[in-house]
């Protein structure tokens, strides 16, 4: 058996590893090797691989055989290169033992400096260097670090000891302590160790070394590191590597020092050397905040030679890695050493600026630039945020879901009405409620931000707030609204008190924190144009481009989204239009009407108002497609709830409130989301959709008359069977024909459907015959597939996530195995019938980067998201294209060679998501592998290979149906194959 190499040496101008070996050596180790190979001065050392860490945990904290020997050999080599020996009492080699995983986790794991120090070595070092102060400083630092990290001594005890000696000596800084003071401190420290652990501080350097190695491997699983990985979604790493490296000393005296710097400004991105350093200091002193570090620019004066050398190295490293570098350096007696380099973490502004600048400098190409900016970076740039200086000091009093990004401060109000009234008086208000409902819309618009105590990421408050770009923290359990007070994190607040929320983090703060609004730069526009280019060029089977549309209900939203680069409106919800005061009363009158005639009369009042809204949206979108969803929510939602509302309606109708009440009560449903809603309303009251279609048609005519290009698409919600469309589609067509005929204009209008009920996904081969396009309504599809009420998930979903029952909130990121599986069925079957069927997504998931990646792989034509997420989706879409390039992603249609297209996709699935090894994982593969059809049309479609066979559906009804009368043979609307099979199987 070939022996695995576990220890990699670097030093003397040569290294056994390099930058490409991050998985094995960790980021720190790999780059130390790379810098060594580049001829940059790096203290020599060796790296114990991440594989050892993995094996250590697999073997119940035991090392694989042969490690001791390999480390010993590494140490020998190091001693030779350094011409010093670990534990040599006359001239000791001192080392650091440093952690470092493949992905940087700054400060989360442990590092120990000055290892090898003991009672003899300290004297040897003092004599050898002629600098006893330095020797004792190194020793006391070592005891402090080793005692804390390896032996578990409370580090406050060491801090107390050093404070008391400084007090006694009447000095302020550590650097003012003399050799004798430090020697005394070492004695104190050793006492502390003995008292705390019952053991003496270890004097044998090899024992120290293994203690430190154990501790560093152990720190991989410390609570902090585990939490950090969770929060940052870091998975699939083997563990940390351990770097044993000879020490260099910034604490040698005033000709020595240590610092941290960036090759460009990490907050602005400006190409300016940026950083801080401290003279006579070691390790983390710079960031510890005890002494105030100096700006790197002052080093140019203090030590021009070192400064020039450092600038040369940072330039070289930036060129080499083609990215902004974050460097650690130490100067020992006028000699410069590099201790770390990595790609620097940066703020959103800097990410965009660096990316654009580096393309201009010829350092990177556009694709690399696109991969350098994260959706989170862009998100930062689109919303106000708490002034970073204030944010540092602010203490969050409670935390909810980060439902809509951005920060907001306002005076607390408890009702939408008050929000509107206060805002009218010029107040900034924060709407605090248990939850919100559609009738609160006015108050939500009037508010700076929204805070709710219940509801999940797709609760009404969250969805609407995101759509409006209003910051929102939802489902904050620590918020308790009790009449006219609210308890937030245990503190009581009243109406008019100030609160600040951060919708990007979910934090809630007391009082009014200062906010800053970043502005959208020229660089950002340039950058996003590149993203559009990449998406425009992609081809998946018959699907060209991968567009970003928006969900916009109001002309202002559409306009904003368009400015943000939306290529169409994928969802224009019309119900918000009804909640508008002028329309609501007519609509309420309509739903309590007794006769069709009366209903029609009421709807006529709404028609011109709705037409105006549509006209506004068409105009704002300048001829881009606008998908208008006909009325969707349950009638129930429009019902007047309070007595005054009932009275208002009664007086409008000229009847008594008492006679009206029973009619209203009749409309109450036990389970409205599964009740009388969507196209069901149109089946029972066709005149509602008729009115809406007429308004759309008139608005389109108006556009034509004003020479405004117009491209309406009509979308029918909550479809469960093709027969609903079969019934409703001709109604719409008739009205369009009539209005356009009268006006003598021609406007092609597509009529499509939402796929948002599991049954519709499974029956999409049939539905496709009556639909010109599909749009996945993944909010409802997720709700119905999981049977998780999206308004009530807050009570159990957090625990599901905590206990690992689910990896991610399925309302935020698509559940690829389940809901995504249904989508794949819908896409494959829909395109089997209509190979060029345009298919999009309009659920909240459409703005989520991981979901966008899935949508790309699944072959969607576009994603549609709320206006403020459009820039982010433009980027995420481009990243999906780049990430999946070379993976032969098809459009969900049947592949030419009879090989199912999407089967190839499976490799591209990131291992990190989904339900791990649950049996259900097969759903996705099955759906992909057995697409409905062999060749284009549906002739043999569902018949031969029922797509759903192994998927979610138990018994593919499709079999019988389409089998008998090949569905698409006579295709589209004309003669549905279903005719004869109707009795046997529902469409
Ligand atoms: P982290 O990952 O937390 O930054 P590091 O391993 O980089 O931990 O080390 C912490 C500090 O100690 C850094 O400032 C680093 O530069 C310094 N340091 C580490 N090894 C040495 C060494 N061999 N000589 C001098 N300083 C070192
Ligand atoms: Mg470091
Ligand atoms: Mg829906």
Q: Which atom of ligand 1 is nearest to the CA of 109?
A: 3
Residue nearest ligand 1's atom 26 by CA: 283
- pLDDT over 80 at 732, yes or no: yes
Has residue 936 got a pLDDT over 80? no
Read off the pLDDT of each residue in 748-756 and give the average, rounded to a whole number. 97
Give the environment of ion ligand 3: residues with CB less than 5 A.
Answer: 756, 777, 780
In whole angstroms, how far apart are CA 685 and each of 631, 677, 680, 713?
12, 11, 8, 21
Name the band, by pLDDT with cuts 50, 70 and 90, for residue 266.
confident
Tell me, in angstroms, the distance from the centre of ligand 2 to residue 106's CA: 7
Q: What three-state secondary structure class fits 70?
A: helix
98 within ligand 1 shell (Cβ under 6 A): yes
Cβ of 341 less than 6 Å from ligand 1: no
Three-state secondary structure call for residue 404: strand
Check if the beta carbon of residue 339 is closer than 8 Å to that of residue 42: yes
Question: In DSSP terms, which residues pair with 275 in a beta bridge?
Answer: 261
Give the mean pLDDT of 53-79. Answer: 95
| b/e per residue 115-147 (b: at least 16 CB within 10 A) | bbbbeebbbbbbeebebbbbbbbbbbbbbbbbb
Residue 747 has pLDDT above 90, yes or no: yes
Q: What's the rounded mean pLDDT across residues 968-984?
A: 37
Please report the atom of ligand 1 found closest to the CA of residue 104. Answer: 2
pLDDT band at 483 (very low <50, low <70, confident <90, very high): confident
The pLDDT > 90 percentage for the chain reads: 69
Is the Cβ–Cβ distance between 803 and 482 less than 8 Å?
no
Q: What is the mean pLDDT of residues 598-606?
A: 93
Report the nearest-CA residue for atom 18 of ligand 1: 283
How much is the pLDDT for 578?
81
The set of residues, in sequence order, having a beta carbon less than 8 Å from that of 742 and lying 6+ positions away, is: none
Please list the active-site residues.
460, 842
- Residue owning the nearest CA to atom 3 of ligand 1: 107
What average pLDDT score do residues 706-712 get? 95
Q: How confident is the model at residue 288 (pLDDT cuts 50, 70, 90)?
A: low
The predicted pLDDT at position 547 comes to: 98
Average pLDDT over residues 242-257: 94
Which residue's alpha carbon is nearest to atom 27 within ligand 1?
Answer: 283
Kindly give, in sequence order, each residue whose CB lies less than 8 Å from that of residue 764, ignoring residues fewer than 6 positions away.
755, 774, 825, 826, 829, 830
Indicate the SS3 state at residue 270: coil
Q: Considering only CA atoms, which of 404, 456, 351 is closest in space to residue 869?
A: 404
Query: What is the three-class DSSP state of 180?
Result: helix
Range name among 106-115, 406-415, 526-535, 823-832 with the lowest pLDDT average: 106-115
Q: 68-72, 231-235, 341-345: which range is least confident on average?
A: 231-235
pLDDT for position 113: 96
pLDDT band at 970 (very low <50, low <70, confident <90, very high): very low
pLDDT at 978 over 80: no
**How high is the pLDDT of residue 34?**
98
pLDDT at residue 895 greater than cutoff 60: no
Q: What is the mean pLDDT of the chain?
A: 87
> Looking at ligand 1, which atom is closest to the CA of residue 286?
14
Report whether residue 535 contacts ligand 1, using a CB cutoff of 6 Å.
no
How large is the average pLDDT for residues 47-72? Answer: 95
- Rounded CA gap, 454 and 792, in Å? 7
CB atoms within 10 A of CB 88: 17
The pTM of this model reads: 0.78
Say yes or no: CB of residue 114 within 6 Å of ligand 1. no
Question: Residue 100: beta bridge partners?
Answer: 241
Could you give the 3-state DSSP secondary structure of residue 863? strand
Question: DSSP letter at 4?
Answer: P
| Residue nearest (by alpha carbon) to ligand 1 atom 22 | 247
Strand residue runs (E) in 405-505: 407-413, 429-433, 449-452, 472-474, 479-482, 485-488, 491-494, 498-502
SS3 848: coil
Ligand 2 centroid to Cα of residue 4, in Å, is 28
Residue showing tokens 């590597």 = 241
What's the CA gap between 552 and 560, in Å, rounded? 9
Region 462-469 average pLDDT = 77
Return all residues near 322 (Cβ < 8 A) that are at least 6 apart. 358, 363, 364, 368
Please give the pLDDT value at position 975: 39
- In angstroms, how far is CA 493 from the centroid of its own chain? 32
107 lines ligand 1 (CB under 6 A): yes
């Amino acid at each position: 058996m070939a022996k695995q190499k576990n220890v990699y040496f670097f030093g003397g101008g040569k290294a056994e590893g390099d930058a490409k070996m991050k998985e094995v050596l960790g980021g720190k180790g790999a780059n130390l090797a790379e810098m060594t190979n580049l001829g940059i001065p790096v203290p020599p050392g060796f790296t114990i691989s991440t594989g050892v860490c993995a094996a250590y945990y697999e073997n119940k904290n035991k090392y694989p055989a042969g490690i001791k020997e390999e480390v010993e050999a590494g140490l020998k080599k190091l001693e030779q290169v350094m011409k010093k020996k670990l534990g040599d009492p006359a001239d000791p080699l001192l080392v650091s033992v440093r952690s470092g995983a493949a992905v940087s986790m700054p400060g989360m794991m442990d590092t120990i400096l000055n290892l090898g120090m003991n009672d003899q070595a300290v004297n040897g070092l003092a004599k050898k260097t002629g600098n006893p102060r330095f020797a004792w400083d190194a020793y006391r630092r070592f005891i402090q670090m080793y005692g804390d990290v390896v032996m578990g001594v409370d580090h406050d005890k060491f801090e107390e000891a050093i404070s008391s000696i400084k007090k006694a000596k009447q000095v302020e800084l550590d650097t003012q302590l003399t050799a004798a003071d430090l020697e005394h401190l070492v004695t104190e420290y050793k006492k502390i160790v003995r008292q705390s652990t019952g053991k003496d501080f270890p004097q044998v350097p090899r024992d120290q070394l293994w203690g430190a190695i154990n501790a560093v491997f152990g720190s991989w699983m410390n609570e902090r590191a585990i939490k950090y990985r969770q929060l940052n979604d870091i998975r699939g790493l083997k563990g940390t590597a351990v770097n044993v490296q000879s020490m260099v000393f910034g604490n040698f005296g005033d000709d020595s020092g240590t610092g941290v710097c960036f090759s460009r400004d990490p907050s602005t991105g400006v190409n300016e050397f940026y950083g801080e350093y401290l003279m006579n200091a070691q390790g983390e002193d710079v960031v510890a905040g005890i002494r105030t570090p100096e700006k790197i620019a002052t080093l140019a004066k203090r030590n021009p030679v070192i400064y020039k050398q450092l600038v040369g190295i940072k330039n070289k490293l930036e060129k080499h890695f083609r990215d902004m570098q974050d460097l650690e350096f130490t100067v020992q007696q006028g000699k410069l050493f590099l201790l770390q380099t990595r790609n620097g973490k940066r703020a959103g502004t800097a990410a965009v600026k660096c990316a654009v600048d580096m393309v201009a400098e010829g350092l990177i190409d556009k694709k690399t630039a696109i991969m350098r900016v994260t959706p989170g970076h862009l998100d930062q740039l689109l919303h106000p945020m708490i002034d970073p200086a204030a944010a540092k000091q602010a203490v969050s009093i409670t935390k909810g879901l980060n439902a809509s990004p951005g920060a907001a401060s306002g005076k607390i109000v408890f009702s939408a009405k008050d929000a509107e009234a206060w805002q009218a008086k010029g107040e900034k208000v924060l709407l605090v409620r248990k939850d919100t409902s559609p009738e609160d819309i006015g108050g939500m618009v009037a508010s700076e931000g929204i805070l709710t105590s219940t509801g999940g990421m797709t609760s009404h408050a969250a969805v609407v707030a995101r759509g409006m770009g209003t910051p929102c923290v939802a489902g904050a359990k620590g918020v308790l609204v009790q009449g006219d007070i609210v308890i937030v994190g245990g503190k009581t607040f009243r109406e008019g008190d100030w609160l600040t929320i951060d919708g990007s983090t979910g934090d809630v703060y007391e009082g009014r924190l200062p906010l800053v609004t970043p502005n959208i730069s020229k660089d950002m526009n340039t950058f996003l144009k590149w993203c559009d280019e990449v998406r425009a060029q992609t081809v998946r089977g018959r699907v060209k481009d991968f567009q970003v549309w928006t969900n916009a209900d109001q002309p202002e939203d559409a306009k904003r989204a368009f400015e943000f680069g939306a290529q169409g409106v994928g969802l224009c919800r019309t119900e918000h239009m009804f909640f508008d005061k002028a329309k609501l009363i007519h609509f309420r009158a309509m739903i309590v009407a007794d006769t069709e005639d009366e209903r029609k009369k009421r709807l006529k009042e709404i028609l011109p108002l709705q037409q105006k809204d549509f006209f506004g949206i068409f105009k704002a979108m300048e001829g881009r497609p606008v998908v208008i969803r006909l009325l969707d929510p349950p009638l129930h939602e429009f019902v007047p709830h309070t007595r005054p509302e009932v009275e208002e309606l009664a007086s409008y109708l000229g009847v008594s409130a008492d006679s009206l009440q029973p009619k209203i009560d009749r409309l109450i449903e036990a389970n409205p989301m599964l009740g009388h809603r969507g196209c069901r309303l149109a089946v029972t009251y066709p005149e509602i959709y008729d009115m809406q279609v007429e308004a759309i048609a008139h608005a389109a005519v108006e556009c034509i008359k004003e020479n405004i290009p117009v491209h309406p698409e009509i979308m029918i919600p909550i479809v469960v069977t093709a027969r609903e469309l079969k019934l409703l589609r001709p109604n719409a067509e008739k009205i369009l024909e009539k209005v356009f005929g009268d006006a003598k204009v021609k406007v092609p209008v597509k009529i499509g459907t939402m796929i948002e009920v599991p049954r519709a996904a499974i029956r999409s081969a049939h539905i496709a015959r009556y639909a010109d396009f599909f749009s996945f309504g993944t909010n409802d599809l997720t709700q119905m597939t999981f049977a998780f009420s999206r308004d009530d998930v807050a009570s159990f979903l957090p625990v599901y996530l905590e206990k690992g029952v689910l990896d991610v909130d399925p309302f935020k990121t698509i559940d690829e195995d389940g809901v995504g599986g249904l989508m794949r069925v819908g896409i494959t079957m829909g395109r089997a019938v209509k190979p060029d069927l345009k298919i999009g997504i309009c659920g909240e998931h459409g703005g989520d980067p991981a979901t966008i990646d899935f949508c790309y792989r699944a072959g969607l034509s576009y994603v549609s998201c709320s206006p403020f997420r459009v820039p982010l989706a433009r980027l995420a879409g481009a990243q999906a294209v780049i990430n999946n390039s070379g993976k032969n992603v098809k459009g969900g249609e049947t592949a030419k060679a009879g090989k199912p297209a999407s089967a190839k996709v499976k490799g591209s699935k990131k291992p990190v998501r989904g339900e791990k090894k649950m049996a259900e994982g097969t759903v996705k593969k099955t759906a992909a592998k057995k697409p409905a059809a062999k060749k284009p049309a549906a002739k043999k479609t569902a018949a031969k290979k029922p797509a759903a066979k192994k998927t979610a559906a138990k018994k593919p009804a499709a079999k019988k149906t389409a089998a008998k009368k090949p569905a698409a043979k006579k295709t589209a609307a004309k003669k549905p194959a279903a005719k004869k099979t109707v009795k046997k199987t529902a469409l």
